[in-house]
Amino acid sequence: MQNLDITIVGGGSAGLTLALLLAPLGLQIAVVEQGAAPTSAELNYQRVSALNPASMRLLNHLGVADPTMAQAAAYSSMAVWEADSFGRIEFSADPPQLPQLGWICDNEGIRQQLYQQLQTHNNVQCFFQAKISQLAQTEREVLVQLASGDILLSQLLVGADGVNSFVRQQQQLPLTHWDYQQQAIVARIHCQEPHQGVARQVFLPTGPLALLPLPDAQQCSIVWSADTARAEQLLALDNNAFNQALSAASQSALGCLTLTSERHAFPLTMRYASEWVRGRVVLVADAAHSIHPLAGQGMNLGLMDVAALAQIIEKQLQSGKALAEPRALLAYQRWRKAEAQSMIGTMEAFKRGFSNKQPALKLLRGAGLLLADKLPGLKQKLMAAALGNSGDLPDIAKY
Ligand SMILES: Cc1cc2nc3c(=O)[nH]c(=O)nc-3n(C[C@H](O)[C@H](O)[C@H](O)COP(=O)(O)OP(=O)(O)OC[C@H]3O[C@@H](n4cnc5c(N)ncnc54)[C@H](O)[C@@H]3O)c2cc1C
């Protein structure tokens, strides 16, 4: 039996970042992950995330994902437009104050670097390929028993175990969810034309298609969200037919597009836990909320959750208080629920706004995009949100 301060269930980007944020506080920490440890295998950019400057400030502070390293492809412009319409909006970096708008990072690459940093802290133990056989809490502690026989007793347990969170279900934390009735197809592609560091997204009547620039000037990662029937059709196509459909859907923005990896599909569901805290158990990141990938904000939101929780825990310790005090955990919940709700609201407005196929609404959307592109106040607000600079940021992510 081990007496610890914190057990984190889930060793994805959120769980490992939290462990690394808390490690310098000298706490005894366990990370319990059902999958394998990140390896130093070459990155394949099969699953990527667009990280905004706020997330990158946080990761850089932890010695991870230095933007000068080849693992991350910086993008300096974003172009968003609607197919068969005149509506288009563009955002550009403004050096030297704003050299980049964001970075396309390999998800496994981020985990690799986080894990590498974590190994320098001997107060953090990672249990990989671990199965939880029992989870129970009393007023004083949380007990986790692993199938290996290890027993972990902690003051606080953090559920960072992703969209189908075992911790959330086991603690019966209520969940609001709805099916977007779309699937996101992700793959790596070769582009005939160089991407020039521009992240592109075209809104099609069946859903948005994003072309995200990778370190190679002619490679992109696609996230093609499409209504379920269309997604199934696209998945059933052979590579040649898929390449043709993809090139047409992108409106030849980068010439002919060719698959260079397998396609993987993710059903898209909005999930939002209405309670994130139960006693000594707290949820973070995808375990608490998952949103449509159309604005590439899910991981950014989760990283801000863990930075906020770490900040609150540090303040508790500095003032000599217990780290799992209910008041502190509820302050975390209030803070981050407000941010998640605001993001979910914005995503819904975008998703619904762009999925309505009525010609009059399409005309309004086109005019709205053009207007937003020309009005400096509105454009600045949209830009601040995309850069992760709006809302109540944790100190470590502030500009
Ligand atoms: C198609 C797509 C595109 C996206 N694009 C972007 C983007 O551009 N930008 C962005 O910011 N976000 C993006 N996201 C969202 C982003 O991928 C997620 O928000 C992020 O990966 C969530 O991180 P996490 O650590 O919370 O969860 P996960 O990465 O899911 O990690 C959870 C971990 O918990 C482990 N686990 C689960 N159950 C247990 C258990 N019982 N015991 C132990 N371990 C367990 C899992 O093995 C996993 O390692 C996208 C999502 C999708 C689907």
Q: pLDDT tens digit string along 67-77?
A: 555 566 889 99
Nearest atom in ligand 1 to the alpha carbon of residue 167 is: 41
> What is the number of structural domains in the chain?
1
Nearest atom in ligand 1 to the alpha carbon of residue 10 is: 34
pLDDT(50) > 60: yes
Q: Predicted confidence band at 117 (pLDDT cuts at 50, 70, 90)?
A: very high
**CB half-sphere exposure, 389, CA atoms < 13 A:** 11
Residue with tokens 């002919």: 256
Q: What is the mean pLDDT of residues 13-20?
A: 98
The per-residue pLDDT for range 118-129, each reduced to its tens digit, is 999 999 999 999
Q: Predicted confidence band at 305 (pLDDT cuts at 50, 70, 90)?
A: very high
- Mutational pocket test of ligand 1: of 49, 170, 271, the residue with most ligand atoms within 8 Å of the beta carbon: 49
Residue 249 falls within a domain, yes or no? Answer: no
pLDDT(18) > 90: yes
Q: What is the mean pLDDT of residues 48-71?
A: 82
Residue 209 falls within a domain, yes or no? Answer: no
Strands 72-75 and 102-106: antiparallel
Residue 255 falls within a domain, yes or no? Answer: no
Residue 59 falls within a domain, yes or no? Answer: yes
> Can you give the pLDDT at residue 366?
65
The per-residue pLDDT for range 218-237, each reduced to its tens digit, is 999 999 999 999 999 999 99
Q: In this prediction, what percent of the chain has a pLDDT beyond 70?
A: 91
Two tokens at 346? Answer: 């914005």
> Can you give the pLDDT at residue 343?
84
Residue 388 falls within a domain, yes or no? Answer: yes
> Can you give the pLDDT at residue 351?
67
Q: What is the mean pLDDT of residues 251-260?
A: 97
Name the residue range of residue 30's domain: 2-176+269-394
Two tokens at 276? Answer: 């994130």
Residue 27 falls within a domain, yes or no? Answer: yes
pLDDT(65) > 80: no
Ligand 1 lining (C-beta closer than 6 Å): 9-15, 32-35, 49-50, 107, 132, 160-162, 166, 184, 186, 223, 266, 285-286, 293, 296-300, 302
pLDDT(151) > 90: yes
Q: Predicted confidence band at 99 (pLDDT cuts at 50, 70, 90)?
A: confident
State in Å: Cα 36 to ligand 1 middle.
15
Cβ(219)–Cβ(97) below 8 Å: no
Which stretches of the chain are DSSP H helices?
13-22, 53-61, 107-118, 166-170, 228-236, 239-249, 298-318, 326-355, 359-374, 376-387
pLDDT(363) > 80: no
pLDDT(361) > 70: no
Residue 109 falls within a domain, yes or no? Answer: yes
3-state secondary structure at position 384: helix
CATH of the domain at 104: 3.50.50.60
Residue 68 falls within a domain, yes or no? Answer: yes
